[in-house]
């Protein structure tokens, strides 16, 4: 069933908290399963993607239980995972699939991994190639696509790998494989990517060093540590916060306060970009919770201007480009977002799909090589079109936010996938004044 999003009669008003950070939630479950003892996780994102990770860790022998106030993970220790009895279905989550491939690669067991139709189209070769060097064997469909069989290494070798492109998922997969290999595993990344894996590895007791190397970094992990159970407090996901933030910026008379948002400097590229565009976005009460920086955000409706977004910013906002494009559609002047080749291999071809989302609603847009160029309307975009989501949760949310800003209602073809990363999105947004309805 299609969903219609239309401009509300008044501004968006209220105080809210977005679900827990998806990247940290996946990792907390995996590291808890690899640790000795019981880890308690509060604020875990209970979206479909993360629940698939929880199910996979249960299948590998960890005890994962949802309590009334937190999640509890009784781990098996490094090297202690058991062979799953059935196929591991990772649903729509590329993060879960790639990180879990790293875990499985250095454990002496056999496993088969699959996912939904969208995930089965996404390339896994980028993790297969470095992980095979530890001694694991992979059998996958053409192009390294799921379903994929993994025969973990009996005596895993440490890895040394230079990422061809900045990717936190590939980096994390290599580090996870290195946990069960003797000696040093080394990863060099050309540009710094989100460092939740490094932070959590230290939190659980691993020896991890990070050194600058030009524009990037070199991460070194001492293999075969004894990870110790450690409680994790998951902050609000900045990628999820992006949607109510942009909605408030574009709807006249809006003022929203969003509590306890993760402010890891490798995740806040969107906030920096919106500030350059003239957004009234205040960061308040900065603090550290669970080893991660967090803050409360106050956002008010603002008149935005087009900017040039450098390619170097991509790793710090890789998931936010669809919603940034929506902001750019209402800005004065032209916004150019550079170096977006990684968007072509997300849940959909996000580069093409984001351009189509805007074009269908009367916004001038072009793709020039790997750049997305949006010609802002300086006010209300026309709207009136249909957004094709391609089973992509972020496109669905971007389409719904666009409708709140447009002169004419916007139809979104499928919003069912939003729960993979932001359960309760529609209810939360309508609670602060958004106007969504089924057709």
Per-residue pLDDT of the chain (439 residues; tens, 9 = 90+): 799 999 999 999 999 999 999 999 999 999 999 999 999 999 999 999 999 999 999 999 999 999 999 999 999 999 999 999 999 999 999 999 999 999 999 999 999 999 999 899 988 999 999 999 999 999 999 989 999 999 999 999 999 999 998 899 999 999 999 999 999 999 999 999 999 999 999 999 999 999 999 889 999 999 999 999 999 999 999 999 999 999 999 999 999 999 999 999 999 999 999 999 999 999 999 998 877 899 999 999 999 999 999 999 998 999 999 999 999 999 999 999 999 998 987 666 899 999 999 999 999 999 999 999 999 999 999 999 999 999 899 999 999 999 999 999 999 999 998 988 899 999 999 999 999 998 6
Q: Which pLDDT value is given to residue 118?
A: 87
pLDDT value at position 439? 67
Looking at residue 384, its pLDDT comes to 97
Q: Are 262 and 206 in contact (CB under 8 A)?
A: no
- The domain defined by 3-20+236-438 folds into UDP-n-acetylglucosamine1-carboxyvinyl-transferase; Chain (3.65.10)
Angle between helices 48-59 and 22-34 (to 10 degrees): 10
Quote the pLDDT of residue 421.
87
Q: How far apart are CA 181 and CA 135, in angstroms?
A: 10
Between CA 55 and CA 71 the distance in angstroms is 13
CA distance 415 to 290: 32
> Taking a C-beta distance cutoff of 8 angstroms, is the pair 26, 96 a contact?
yes
Residues catalogued as catalytic: 319
Give CA–CA dist 76/394, Å, rounded.
Answer: 34
Q: How far is CA 348 from CA 122, 330, 354, 391, 420, in A?
A: 8, 24, 10, 7, 14
Question: Cα separations (Å) of 116 from 73, 88, 391?
Answer: 26, 11, 10
Q: Where are the domains of the chain?
A: 3-20+236-438, 22-225
The helix, strand and coil proportions of the chain, stated in percent and rounded to the nearest 5, come to: 35, 30, 40
Domain 22-225: assigned CATH number: 3.65.10.10
Cα angle 358, 18, 269 (rounded to 5 degrees) comes to: 55
Query: 220 vs 49, 185, 201, 353, 371, CA distance in Å?
Result: 28, 6, 11, 37, 33
Q: Interhelix angle for 321-330 vs 238-250, to 10°? A: 10
**Which DSSP helix (H) or strand (E) runs through 335?**
strand 334-337
pLDDT at residue number 143: 85
Residue 342: predicted pLDDT: 87
Q: Is 200 helix (H, G, I), strand (E, B) or coil?
A: helix
Tokens (6 digits) for 295: 């803050």
In this chain, the answer to whether the domains covering 3-20+236-438 and 22-225 adopt an identical fold is yes
pLDDT of residue 391: 87
Beta bridge partners of residue 235, listed in sequence order: none
Contact assessment for residue 392 and residue 350, using Cβ atoms and an 8 Å cutoff: yes
Which residues neighbour 210 within 8 Å (Cβ) at sequence distance 6 or greater?
Answer: 195, 198, 217, 218, 219, 220
| Measured distance between the N- and C-terminal CA atoms of the chain, rounded to whole angstroms | 7
CA-CA distance, 229 to 46, in Å (whole number)? Answer: 21
CA distance 90 to 60: 13
Q: Which residues pair with 319 in a beta bridge?
A: none
Structure token digits, residue 332: 């004065």
Q: What is the pLDDT of residue 166?
A: 86
Per the CB < 8 A criterion, the answer to whether 159 and 227 are in contact is no
Contact 179, 134 (CB under 8 A): no
Q: How far apart are CA 212 and CA 191, in angstroms?
A: 10
Distance CA 289, CA 423 (A): 23
Distances in Å between the alpha carbon of 67 and those of 27, 42, 277, 378?
A: 19, 10, 43, 48
């Amino acid at each position: 069933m299609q969903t219609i999003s239309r401009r509300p009669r008044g501004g968006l008003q209220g105080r809210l908290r977005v679900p827990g950070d998806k990247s940290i939630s996946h990792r907390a479950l995996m590291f808890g399963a690899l640790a000795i003892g019981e880890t308690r996780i509060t604020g875990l994102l209970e979206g479909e993607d993360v629940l698939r990770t929880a199910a996979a860790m249960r299948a590998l022998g960890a005890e994962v239980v949802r309590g009334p106030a937190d999640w509890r993970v009784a781990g098996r220790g490094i090297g202690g995972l058991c062979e799953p009895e059935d196929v591991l279905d990772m649903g729509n989550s590329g993060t879960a699939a790639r990180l879990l491939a790293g875990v499985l690669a250095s454990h002496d067991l056999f496993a088969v991994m699959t996912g939904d139709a969208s995930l089965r189209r996404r390339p896994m070769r980028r993790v297969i190639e470095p992980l095979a060097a530890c001694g694991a064997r992979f059998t996958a469909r053409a192009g390294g696509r799921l379903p994929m069989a993994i025969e973990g290494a009996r005596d895993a070798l440490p890895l040394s790998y230079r990422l061809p492109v900045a990717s936190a998922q590939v980096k994390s997969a290599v580090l996870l494989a290195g946990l069960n290999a003797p000696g040093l595993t080394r990863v060099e990344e050309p540009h710094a990517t989100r460092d939740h894996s490094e932070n959590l590895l230290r939190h659980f007791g691993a020896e991890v060093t990070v050194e600058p190397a030009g524009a990037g970094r070199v991460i070194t992990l001492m293999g075969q540590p004894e990870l110790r159970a450690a409680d994790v407090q998951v902050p609000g996901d900045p990628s999820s916060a992006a949607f109510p933030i942009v909605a408030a910026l574009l709807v006249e008379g809006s003022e929203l306060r969003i509590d306890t948002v993760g402010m890891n400097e490798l995740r806040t590229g969107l906030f920096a970009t919106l500030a350059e565009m003239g957004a009234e976005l205040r960061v308040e009460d900065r603090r550290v919770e669970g080893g991660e920086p967090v803050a409360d955000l106050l956002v008010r409706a603002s008149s935005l201007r087009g900017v040039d977004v450098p390619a170097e910013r991509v790793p710090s906002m890789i998931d936010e480009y669809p919603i940034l494009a929506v902001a750019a559609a209402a800005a004065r002047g032209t916004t150019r977002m550079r170096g977006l080749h990684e968007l072509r291999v997300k849940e959909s071809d996000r580069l093409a799909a984001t351009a189509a989302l805007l074009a269908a609603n009367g916004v001038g847009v072009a793709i020039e090589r790997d750049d997305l160029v949006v010609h802002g309307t300086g006010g209300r975009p026309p709207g009136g079109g249909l957004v094709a989501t391609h089973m992509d949760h972020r496109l669905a949310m971007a389409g719904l936010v666009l409708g709140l800003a447009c002169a004419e209602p916007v139809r979104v073809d499928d919003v069912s996938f939003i729960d993979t990363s932001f359960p309760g999105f529609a209810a939360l947004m309508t609670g602060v004044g958004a106007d969504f309805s089924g057709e």
